[in-house]
Amino acid sequence: MDADDMLKLENQLCFALVTAARNVVAIYRPILEPLGLTHPQYLVMLALWERSPRTLNDLAGDLALDPATASPLVKRLENEGLIARERSSADERRLDIQLTPSGRQLRERAIDVPRQVMAAVQMDREQIVTLRDALSPFSGGAAG
């Protein structure tokens, strides 16, 4: 690849990644729509299904978001009745974010989302894991 080729848009890793990220969200949209979730809301729910309750800072850190970005997502999910924010019994200064019964039940409906995504992109679990792991140098440590 010569110097001119190196500067072609089609040869840029950054362009491939940003295009792929946009397309991933588009793939998830019709899969998540019946659950009433957007892609960012789905990520919040995934984190809470793994561990709840947790603080906003903890949740934002795991999602690689600023707390100011995560806060409106949490508020929307709270308005939908999927999560609740309550004062911590251990430290009343702290607000814990936890799943409501509806939020826990939604997990059962979401259990098929990964399979639907794999079908949409025609990749199996092994291929998805390989791709995810290959992206880890660009994830800032968020992949795992």
Per-residue pLDDT, 93: 79
Distance CA 55, CA 78 (A): 14
Distance CA 48, CA 111 (A): 14
Per-residue pLDDT, 89: 80
Per-residue pLDDT, 139: 83
pLDDT tens, residue by residue, 31-86: 999 999 999 999 999 999 999 999 999 999 999 999 999 999 999 999 999 999 99
pLDDT tens, residue by residue, 57-67: 999 999 999 99
Q: Is residue 53 reached through a cis peptide bond, with omega within 30 degrees of 0 on the bond before it?
A: yes
Distance CA 93, CA 23 (A): 40
- Domains located in the chain, CATH noted: 40-112 (1.10.10.10)
Distance CA 63, CA 50 (A): 12
pLDDT tens, residue by residue, 13-33: 999 999 999 999 999 999 999
Per-residue pLDDT, 141: 54
pLDDT tens, residue by residue, 75-117: 999 999 999 999 878 777 788 999 999 999 999 999 999 999 9
